[in-house]
Structure 1
Amino acid sequence: MKFEEYLDSLQGKTVAVIGIGVSNRPLIELLAARGVSVTARDRQQRQALGDYAARLEEMGCRLCLGEGYLDGLTEDVIFRTPGMRPDVPELAAAVARGSMLTSEMEVFFEVCPCPILAVTGSDGKTTTTTIIAELLRSAGKTVHLGGNIGHPLLAETGTIRPEDVAVLELSSFQLMTMKRSPHIAVITNLSPNHLDVHKDFAEYIAAKENIFTHQCAQDVAVFNADNSITAQQAERAQGRARLFSRKNEVEDGVFLRDGKIVARHDGQERVVMTREDIRLPGEHNVENYLAAIAAVDGMVSDEQIAAFARSFGGVEHRIELIRTLDGVRWYNDSIASSPSRTIAGLRAFPEKVILIAGGKDKGISYAELGPVVNDHVKLLLLCGATAGVIRQSVEQAENYQGLEIIDVEDYHQAADIARERAAEGDVVILSPASTSFDRFKNFMERGKAFKEVVNALQ
């Protein structure tokens, strides 16, 4: 269905948009401008929205705010915010009455006029998505970046041309109810995550699989051969399955061999670039490049890939170098909202680091984190709700040798202690292994707050 046809199909219908955050505002404004009867629903009180509430009403929107924001949910079409489960009682009751439940991303898949390339996984999504988008741009493509990165694309669909490419980062929440899959799908890896929202790990995996289960024979899905779950998923691919591996050679895909990144297909192989071409630190970033190359193979030249890798310094909040102060390097890895992400960050450095960690607990195990912290950390500073479980994972690990652990109130205290204890050549890194929602709206706000503290150090 074309974009204009979809908008026309909403005429005469009532539409509810749940969530008035930044990601849904372009959609609400687009529908209102087209004369669609829109009810914007949000748990926030009116004062939290500021002048925007009045602006929406001026556009003809009805507002339903506060604790009862889902009361009277009878609209014909309901746009779910990604963080809301589709089976909450109010949504389930509305669907039972005949309402159509959808989302901004689901409709985008339906109306997007150009090929879609999408990335999901537990770790590495944003960096891999960014690498893919920038590689395609270097090859002359017009790229529309969206999903969990960039900005909402549905309201801009009218400006997208068939020869363009949409590159998306997709979360498990966005994928839960997806009935379409991208032309090229990438799963970076899978490990327990977001179990505070998903019923269990099986549901989380099932949501992620929607990125490839609706593909056709002409589509491509890229899987991590080094991850047991994604390696098994490759066997169920609907189209062409490509693998990437840092540890072993693969028949169709991209792998690392003797420090060289090799692409192989139909028995033919070539060296794309070397491991040393990658400016980003850490083996996990090698994996991010392997995944990205497997996805764009044939669309971007090897020379363009190598040139980009030599210049790309990374994405904000992902092992981001904040500053070097008296020979001590300070890093912001606020994106690390899970133990596996922090583990990858710690392994990116050859030396032992001073680690600042802790945040909100999302119901996952921290057992795997403890041994790695003991091997890679010289001083551990903990704050937030998960401080206790992280400390327990470290102290109960078999390789615990009395690592010094200090509980701190906030990042100011953590930075002061790290500043006092760090010597020239040391690394201090914020890598929380937990979500930010105990004290911050998101990992970006958390990272910015930490950067402000570090940049203020004298």
Structure 2
Amino acid sequence: MERKASDFFESLNGKTVALCGIGGSNLPLIKMFAKYGAKVLACDKRERTALGENADKAEEYGAELHLGENYLKNLGADIIFRTPGMKYYMDELVEARNNGVAVTSEMEVFFDICPCKIIAVTGSDGKTTTTTIISELLKASGKTVHLGGNIGHPLLPDIESISPEDYAVVELSSFQLISMRKSPDIAVVTNLAPNHLDIHKDMQEYIDAKKNIVLHQNAFSRTVLNLDNEISNSFSEYVRGTLYKFSRRNSVKSGAYMKPDGEIVMSINGEETHIMKAEEIKIPGLHNIENYLAAISAVWGLVDVETIRKVAMEFAGVEHRAELVRELDGVRWYNDAIGTSPTRTVKGTLSLYDRKIILIAGGYDKKIPYDEMGEVVPKTVKLLILMGATADKIEEATRKASTYSEGNPEIIRVNSMEEAVKIARERAESGDIVSMSPASASFDMYKNFAEKGLHYKRLVMEL
């Protein structure tokens, strides 16, 4: 283990460390911190019965449990590790900071002590796929890659096995970035649009959080920004190192872009290198062309052109992202549970197919507008099946759209995923496409988008 990391863990000996959230990502940290002599407090708003075996494991690893509504009261902690879903400015955390308690996060500490180069990706849409593509490209070129962050795997527990010549490829959410004061060696911003306004106090706080991915870079860093997205492109003024732009619509001086004929090139100060044709990319959709443009810009100089082309032709995509579940009686069923915002559903599912589809949408309300999606739905959807807290907003945006006419699309309301799949099955004819893309988060009925996607897939496979 590198010196920075060993110094940090040695400093934990005798300290009281509170970890917020008793879930799969924090359990390895409980085990690790206890091993280095810390008194670990495992804190969760849920009661023990709701936590199930995770509570048992936390105690088995050496933690003292603090549960229920007052789980952050009277901790007596020296360090608090907040979970990304907690509001950074919540009263208990502000009070703790005012009382001299170090409030940090798993990702902040990882950035501080990681011995290898870090490539990090953020954005409103496309960040998971872009992060995964970057990881696949580096692995295909023989590099040792540690993939994690918001993509689901905590990286701090792996720190003992990370070498300086490795690469950490990290997806970062606005919740993680809001408190970050260190930026990656290579930063990628896929795009920015209204999102998570149920947690952030306003759009500006959301943008400012994302901005931290570039604000603390140095002169030897690389930044990759989306020229076609106004907010992402506006980060250019904060870049201190090498700046690459990517674009699906325009040529760029330095970065990857797609020409009008579909040729993808990498330009360095105007000198172009042919990479491939957009049609060679295995995963469908214009948004995935953008994801590849971002990824190519990120790994340029680390991965050769042949490897880039080979991965693009073979990589089948990430689960829950326009994933073909099955074909039954001539009907293709897709799972796009990652469509957790209207822009993601518009750029993803609603841009992919050559015919109008049956769309299952709706879920938890993140307090973001659906006007843009409303304009697109009548042009791309023939049957709209709505469920969850955002059903009203999606129906209203669709009915008031200039493209809408009565019955185009037909709109049906349901109360459960079972009912949605049943109606889609009854109404779909051979040649139809059914896609579940919520355009919303999933917290009204599910723990996360993955649980929603798995439930949908199970129901479809049982048809």
Q: Which residue of 2 is the match for residue 391 of structure 1?
A: 395
* 1:372-383 alignment runs, 5 A limit: 372-383=376-387
Deviation at 1:58, TM superposition (A): 4.3
Q: Does 1:455 align with 2:461?
A: yes
Q: Which residue of 1 is the match for residue 428 of structure 2?
A: 422
Q: Does 1:329 align with 2:332?
A: yes
What's the secondary structure of 1:151's corresponding residue?
A: coil
> Which blocks of at least 5 consecutive residues in structure 2 are unaligned?
none
Relative to structure 1, is the Cα distance of residues 428 and 51 closer, same or farther in structure 2, using a 3 angstrom cutoff?
closer
Deviation at 1:268, TM superposition (A): 1.4
- Give the AA of the match of 1:81: T
- Give the AA of the match of 1:433: A
Q: Is the 8 A contact 2:14 2:37 kept in 1?
A: no
- Give the AA of the match of 1:290: L
- Give the AA of the match of 1:424: S
Q: Which residue of 1 is the match for residue 15 of structure 2?
A: 13
Q: Does 1:149 align with 2:151?
A: yes
Equivalent of 1:370, from 349, 364, 374? 374
Deviation at 1:47, TM superposition (A): 2.1
Equivalent of 1:250, from 252, 259, 268? 252
Equivalent of 2:365, from 361, 365, 371? 361
Q: Does 1:303 align with 2:306?
A: yes
Q: Take 2:61 and 2:398, find their aligned partners in 1: how far apart are those partners?
A: 55
Q: Which residue of 1 is the match for residue 318 of structure 2?
A: 315
Relative to structure 1, is the Cα distance of residues 393 and 30 closer, same or farther in structure 2, using a 3 angstrom cutoff?
same
What's the secondary structure of 2:55's corresponding residue?
A: helix
What's the secondary structure of 2:452's corresponding residue?
A: helix
Greater shift, 424-433 or 230-239, is seen at: 230-239
Q: Which residue of 1 is the match for residue 270 of structure 2?
A: 267
* 1:134-283 alignment runs, 5 A limit: 134-257=136-259, 258-283=261-286
- Give the AA of the match of 1:437: F
Q: Take 2:49 and 2:392, find their aligned partners in 1: how far apart are those partners?
A: 36
Q: Which residue of 1 is the match for residue 343 of structure 2?
A: 340
Q: Does 1:352 align with 2:356?
A: yes
After the TM superposition, which segments of 4 or more aligned residues of structure 1 sit over 4 Å from their partners?
none
> Which blocks of at least 5 consecutive residues in structure 1 are unaligned?
none
What's the secondary structure of 1:152's corresponding residue?
A: coil
TM-score (norm 2): 0.97
Percent same amino acid among aligned pairs? 55
What's the secondary structure of 2:352's corresponding residue?
A: coil
What's the secondary structure of 2:7's corresponding residue?
A: helix
- Give the AA of the match of 1:281: P
Could you give the per-residue CA deviations for residues 124-147 of structure 1, whole angstroms, max 9, x where no partner exists? 011000000000000000000010
Deviation at 1:49, TM superposition (A): 2.7
Q: Take 2:54 and 2:312, find their aligned partners in 1: how far apart are those partners?
A: 42
- Give the AA of the match of 2:262: G
Q: Does 1:44 align with 2:50?
A: no
Equivalent of 1:131, from 130, 133, 142? 133
- Give the AA of the match of 2:435: I
What's the secondary structure of 2:215's corresponding residue?
A: coil
Q: Is the 8 A contact 1:317 1:334 kept in 2?
A: yes
Q: Take 2:385 and 2:290, find their aligned partners in 1: how far apart are those partners?
A: 29
Could you give the per-residue CA deviations for residues 302-325 of structure 1, whole angstroms, max 9, x where no partner exists? 111111111111100000000011
Q: Is the 8 A contact 1:336 1:431 kept in 2?
A: yes
Q: Which residue of 1 is the match for residue 85 of structure 2?
A: 83
Deviation at 1:297, TM superposition (A): 0.7
Q: Take 1:268 and 1:51, find their aligned partners in 2: how far apart are those partners?
A: 57
Q: Take 1:210 and 1:67, find their aligned partners in 2: how far apart are those partners?
A: 32
- Give the AA of the match of 1:426: D
Q: Take 1:55 and 1:227, find their aligned partners in 2: how far apart are those partners?
A: 45
What's the secondary structure of 2:31's corresponding residue?
A: helix
- Give the AA of the match of 1:179: R
Q: Which residue of 2 is the match for residue 35 of structure 1?
A: 37
Q: Take 2:440 and 2:455, find their aligned partners in 1: how far apart are those partners?
A: 16
Deviation at 1:148, TM superposition (A): 1.3
TM-score (norm 1): 0.98
Q: Take 1:256 and 1:51, find their aligned partners in 2: how far apart are those partners?
A: 50
Greater shift, 430-439 or 39-48, is seen at: 39-48
- Give the AA of the match of 2:360: I
What's the secondary structure of 1:212's corresponding residue?
A: helix
Q: Is the 8 A contact 1:249 1:255 kept in 2?
A: yes
Greater shift, 273-282 or 114-123, is seen at: 273-282
- Give the AA of the match of 1:436: S
What's the secondary structure of 1:87's corresponding residue?
A: coil
Q: Does 1:23 align with 2:19?
A: no
Q: Is the 8 A contact 1:73 1:90 kept in 2?
A: no
Aligned residues: 457
Q: Is the 8 A contact 1:73 1:94 kept in 2?
A: no
